[in-house]
Amino acid sequence: HPFTKLRNACLDMENHLPIIFARMLSLCLYQGVHELGEETNNVERVGKEQIELIAHQQWNKFFSAFCEHEETIPDEIVHIYEQMTIYLREIFQDHLPEDSQFLKAEFFKSTLDMLNVNQQMVVPKSPFDLYWNSLSPEQESAPRAAKVLGDILDSLQANQVIQVEYSMGAGMLTVHHNLNHSCEPNCKVVSMNADATLSILALRDIEEGEELCFDYIDTQFLSYEERQQ
């Protein structure tokens, strides 16, 4: 199935964003067709061009408010992105015209760039992760213990790679509109429940009028040495 091909390509790249793109497009198509008062499988009656038009309206409704961004794709992986657009065309060929703007490489890339700055990944933490985080303030005063615990955490995370593939989630969230990045953040964004709700927790006392900042860089899968850097 073309979606399986897309998923496998994402795993090879260690990048799940193209799958989010496919889900975003599916949402717009679903909402668009039902707004026309038709069933999703009744494409011939509506017409692919009309479906694409109203899907664009839905896309703007859902995603136009998110921050835009532009990145350069390394030459060595350009062919992978081109192949993904082929998979996407196979997935949506029954609902969109062959020359659909949604299925062109330029639109695909611009959406991935947008996702890169607006997505928030959520990975369930193990009990040891929580224990490690609770020790963070004391790590500097006990470097030998921190090194031992760091090795244990690295080992656990290495064994969790296959599990994380099925348990982690990511989504388009507006938190990036409200908080800027800082290497010395005064708050953090966490997922405390098994749903799409994020919580913002203060890392220290925050002065009145002080800007809230959090660290965009996810360090939970870095080694102890990398985290110290």
Q: Over the stretch 189-223, which tens digit does the pLDDT of each residue have?
A: 876 665 667 778 899 999 999 999 988 765 555 55
Place 140 in a pLDDT band, splitting at 50, 70 and 90: low
Of the residues 80, 103, 118, the one at which a domain ends: 118
- Predicted pLDDT at 139: 55
Domain limits for position 25: 2-118
**3 with 22: CB under 8 angstroms?**
yes
Place 161 in a pLDDT band, splitting at 50, 70 and 90: very low
N residues, the chain: 229
Beta partners for 181? 214
Q: Which has more pLDDT, 70 or 171?
A: 70
Of the residues 118, 138, 154, the one at which a domain ends: 118
Q: φ and ψ at 76, to 5 degrees?
A: -70, -15
Q: Do 101 and 37 reside in the same domain of the chain?
A: yes
Instruction: Provide CB contacts within 8 A for 23, sequence distance 6+.
Output: none
**Whole-model pTM?**
0.60
Q: Which has more pLDDT, 67 or 96?
A: 96
